[in-house]
């Protein structure tokens, strides 16, 4: 357990308040935005089909190639470009996880580079590795490939993979690999204030949360 001490507002400043359930409606997204504003978080993260989102004062993020990562790179690029055209300021893309499992990190590099080129240099690009499905070696190499391709963050998980979500060990390994040159987003299964603090202590610089209120309610003002 971490002994890092952060206030509610300090943690909120790191949070992507997330709604990616396939059954989500436009009313659900409006409620997400309202809750995000009341909680004082940094961003909302939604499925690209829910764009555009009216969320003044908040960063809007959208996922790409979600959740399997098994979309053609050109499809991911087109999806990302469309999302940006519809107001997304940040893109969370899923790599071809099988390519990483197989050790084909040139394919991972090309996949990320295709999306980076599609959205340009001004869009924040987060690269989801699905760390629970990867070996430590594959996590390290995937982080290196993402960084080389121009990612702004590497991210642990979609939150939808049966192997699980973020772990402190994976976040620590990712943070050590990227060395502060790019960010680390912990996402997937973070449901308590202590879990959030543990991820931050391990090196997470952004958190993806769906149960944001429960996490923040466990922190001091």
Active site (catalytic) residues: 92, 155, 185
173, 151 Cβ separation under 8 angstroms: no
Other beta carbons within 10 Å of 219: 18
Distance CA 71, CA 82 (A): 15
Burial 120-136 (b: 16+ CB within 10 A, else e): eeebbbbbbbbbbbbee
Supply the Cα-derived Rg of the chain in whole angstroms: 16
Phi (first) and psi of residue 69, to 5 degrees:
80, 0
112, 142 Cβ separation under 8 angstroms: no
């Amino acid at each position: 357990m971490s002994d890092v001490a952060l206030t509610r507002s300090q943690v909120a400043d790191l949070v992507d308040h997330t709604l990616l359930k396939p059954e989500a409606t436009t009313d659900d997204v409006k409620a997400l935005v309202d809750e995000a504003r009341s909680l004082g978080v940094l961003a909302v993260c939604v499925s690209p089909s829910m764009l555009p989102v009216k969320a003044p004062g908040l960063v809007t993020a959208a996922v790409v190639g979600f959740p399997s990562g098994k979309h053609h790179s050109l499809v991911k690029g087109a999806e990302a470009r469309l999302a940006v055209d519809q107001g997304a300021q940040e893109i969370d893309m899923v790599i071809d996880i099988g390519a990483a499992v197989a050790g084909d990190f040139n394919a991972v590099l090309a996949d990320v580079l295709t999306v980076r080129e599609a959205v340009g240099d001004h869009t924040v690009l987060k690269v989801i590795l699905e760390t629970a499905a990867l070996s430590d070696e594959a996590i390290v190499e995937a982080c290196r490939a993402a960084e080389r391709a121009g990612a702004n963050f590497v991210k642990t998980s979609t939150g939808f993979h049966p192997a699980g979500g973020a772990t402190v060990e994976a976040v620590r390994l990712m943070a050590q690999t990227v060395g502060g040159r790019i960010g680390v987003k912990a996402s997937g299964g973070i449901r308590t204030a202590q879990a959030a603090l543990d991820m931050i202590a391990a090196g997470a610089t952004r958190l993806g949360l769906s149960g944001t209120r429960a996490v923040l309610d466990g922190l001091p003002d």
